[in-house]
Amino acid sequence: MTEPTAPVNLRRYRRIRNAVVVWLTLVIVGAFLLRIPRIHILEHTARNLYFHVPMWFTLMAAALVSAYHSLRYLQSGDPIRDLRAREAARVGIAFGLLGLATGIVWARFTWYLGTSLWWNFDPKQSFVVIQLLIYGAYFVLRGAVEDPEKRGRVAAVYNLFACVTMPFLLYVLPRQMESLHPGAEGSPAFSDITHPIMRLVFYPAVIGFIGLFWVLYTQRVRLALLERRLEMLQATMLEAKS
């Protein structure tokens, strides 16, 4: 087992972490205090736009980061690349689940208001679940292969496949079907239901949540590196005893 390379730059990590905390604090304050116009059906639930949609942008950013490191792993065989790909996908799935949860609650109190429905297999919702299951299978696949090198190669190829499916499942296909979701066939576009003043918070929210992904991802990488070094230390101690 080789020593991992490219350790985390702690000084840079702390600077970015502090900046993200301040940035998101301002975003959250603006999300709840900034006056927004009355939007048909959505009313004040429109403020969920600042949280729900950035979750999906963050998932896509995480998928790109994960796929990049999977590609680099296939090129170099460096285990740190496989580690980074795994942790980016892990954090990305967490944001995807949050995006799904905020979407379900939002739909319940807008689209399905007055009914007992929480889920109606809307094309956008259904394709999102399929996408998350594809990434869930990535971790099932990793757990099914014991050899580290083989696991890294197989997982990297599958991860690239998962990333390629994302634009089709989250954007292209849902837009071709009738849906209650904005931007789909028969529904207004995103720009038609958002007032320009809301974008003063929305776009910074996207940046802030992607920054939060980077912070959490970096923390996960640091933890994984520490666990790896501990395993190496334990292996060295066992060899010394034998």
Tell whether the model's pLDDT for residue 5 goes beyond 70: no
Q: Cβ atoms within 10 A of the Cβ of 84, count?
A: 26
Average pLDDT, the chain: 88
Tell me the percentage of the chain whose pLDDT exceeds 70: 90
Q: What is the mean pLDDT of residues 54-73?
A: 97
Tell whether the model's pLDDT for residue 53 goes beyond 80: yes
165-184, pLDDT tens digit by residue?
999 999 888 888 877 776 55
Rounded distance between C-alpha atoms, residue 73 and residue 93, angstroms: 21
| Confidence (pLDDT) at 183 | 58
Domain boundaries, the chain: 10-227
SS3 185: strand
Rounded distance between C-alpha atoms, residue 213 and residue 132, angstroms: 17
Q: Cβ atoms within 10 A of the Cβ of 112, count?
A: 16
Q: What is the mean pLDDT of residues 143-154?
A: 95
Rounded distance between C-alpha atoms, residue 157 and residue 113, angstroms: 43
Instruction: Give the start-end residues of each E strand in the chain.
Output: none
